[in-house]
């Protein structure tokens, strides 16, 4: 049996109860990666790298992978039917299964980066550069690490810097709405174009 402790830095998890096997069965309808399914069965997801990497599980609500995906479908402007999100980094960028690949989605632009073709390969990629893929160097800025992520005061896509002075903690699902608003405003605008940009508080 594979032991999924390679990512472990700090973890919050809830062991699956027998009655939760029905949720695990439902998960197989969306994901066919056996190692990922085994990981969920063993750990119920959790928070890693100083809570900066959140791998969704089955319970409770804000850790529930089905609940999270429903919110993303509702609020994320660029969401596609093929996406099934299973994790997020400190900025709320989503890691998704999609058509046999694992993608990292830039929440500001909707851009896709293919990271892997399997869950174990994804773990390997994460561990090669956890600072880039999790943002753990900014973990101290999370005000409530189990329900918040970090958003930029000046969006990264508009030149905002990855520095503490440009980051603040935002609760779920407001950070998803924040990024969706940015993506909708910049969609289709050529690089170098001058335009008026607004952010709702």
Asked if residues 195 and 158 have their Cβ atoms less than 8 Å apart, the reply is no
Domains in the chain: how many in total?
Answer: 1
| 109 domain residue, yes or no | yes
Interacting residues of 51 by C-beta distance below 8 A, sequence separation 6+: 10, 12, 139, 142, 145, 146
| 201 domain residue, yes or no | no
Asked if residues 96 and 73 have their Cβ atoms less than 8 Å apart, the reply is no
| 148 domain residue, yes or no | yes
- What is residue 5's predicted lDDT score, i.e. its pLDDT? 53
Q: The whole model's pTM is what?
A: 0.87
- What is residue 10's predicted lDDT score, i.e. its pLDDT? 47
DSSP for 8-52, please give it.
Answer: -SS----PPPGGGHHHHHHHTTT---HHHHHHHHHH--EEETTTT
- What is residue 112's predicted lDDT score, i.e. its pLDDT? 96
Tens-level pLDDT at each residue, the chain (201 residues)? 454 555 544 445 555 654 567 788 889 999 999 999 988 888 888 889 989 999 998 877 668 999 999 999 998 888 999 999 999 999 999 999 999 999 999 998 889 999 999 999 999 999 999 999 999 999 999 987 778 999 999 889 888 999 999 999 999 989 998 888 877 776 766 666 665 556 555
End-to-end CA gap in the chain: 48
| 168 domain residue, yes or no | yes
Which DSSP symbol is given to 115?
A: E
| 149 domain residue, yes or no | yes
| 11 domain residue, yes or no | no
| 200 domain residue, yes or no | no
- What is residue 79's predicted lDDT score, i.e. its pLDDT? 93
d(CA 107, CA 140): 21
**Which residue range is the domain that position 76 belongs to?**
18-186
| 54 domain residue, yes or no | yes
- What is residue 125's predicted lDDT score, i.e. its pLDDT? 95
């Amino acid at each position: 049996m594979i032991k999924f402790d390679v990512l472990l830095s700090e973890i919050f998890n809830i062991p699956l109860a027998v009655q939760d096997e029905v949720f695990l069965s439902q998960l197989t309808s969306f994901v066919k990666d056996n190692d990922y399914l085994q990981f969920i069965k063993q750990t119920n997801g959790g928070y890693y790298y100083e809570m900066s990497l959140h791998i969704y599980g089955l319970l409770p609500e804000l850790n529930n992978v089905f609940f999270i995906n429903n919110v993303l479908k509702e609020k994320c402007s660029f969401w596609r039917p093929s996406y099934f999100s299973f994790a997020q980094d400190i900025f709320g960028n989503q890691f998704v299964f999609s058509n046999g690949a694992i993608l990292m989605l830039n929440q500001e632009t909707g851009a896709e980066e293919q990271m892997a073709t399997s869950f174990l390969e994804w773990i390997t990629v994460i561990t090669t550069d956890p600072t880039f893929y999790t943002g753990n160097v900014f973990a101290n800025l999370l005000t409530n690490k189990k329900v918040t992520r970090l958003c930029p005061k000046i969006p990264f896509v508009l030149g905002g810097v990855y520095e503490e002075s440009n980051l603040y903690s935002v609760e779920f699902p407001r950070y998803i709405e924040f990024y969706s608003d940015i993506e909708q405003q910049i969609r289709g605008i050529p690089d170098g174009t001058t335009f008026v940009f607004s952010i709702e508080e």
